[in-house]
Amino acid sequence: MMDKRILIVAEMLEKRLHDPDWVAVDCRFDLGDHHAGQRAFERAHIPGSVYLDLDRDLAGPIGTDCGRHPLPDVGQLEARLGELGIGNDSTVVVYDDSHGAIAARAWWIFRWLGHERVRLLDGGLAHWLSLGLPIESGTTHRVPRAFDAAPRSELVVSTAEIAATPSAAHELNLLDARDHTRFLGEHEPIDPVAGHIPGSRNLPFTTFVNSDGTWRSLDERRQLLLDALGGDPDASWCVMCGSGVSACLLALSGVEAGLREPRVYVGSWSEWIRDDTRPIATGEA
Strands of the sheet with 174-176, listed across from one edge: 201-202, 174-176, 238-240, 263-264
* Residue 238 is among the residues annotated as catalytic for this protein: no
Residues of the chain with pLDDT under 70: 1-4, 285
Among residues 36, 283, 17, the alpha carbon closest in space to that of 128 is found at 17
Pair 22, 93: CB distance under 8 Å: yes
pLDDT of the residue at 98: 76
pLDDT of the residue at 56: 96
Neighbouring-strand partners of residue 209: 215
pLDDT of the residue at 148: 98
pLDDT of the residue at 2: 38
Among residues 40, 132, 55, 49, the alpha carbon closest in space to that of 94 is found at 49
Distance between CA atoms of 244 and 271, rounded to whole angstroms? 10
Among residues 83, 75, 73, 154, the alpha carbon closest in space to that of 112 is found at 154
Query: pLDDT per residue over 30-76, tens digit each?
Result: 888 888 999 999 999 999 999 999 999 999 999 999 999 999 999 99
Active-site choice (27, 66, 241, 248): 241
Among residues 65, 36, 44, 59, the alpha carbon closest in space to that of 160 is found at 65
Distance between CA atoms of 16 and 259, rounded to whole angstroms? 29
pLDDT of the residue at 284: 87
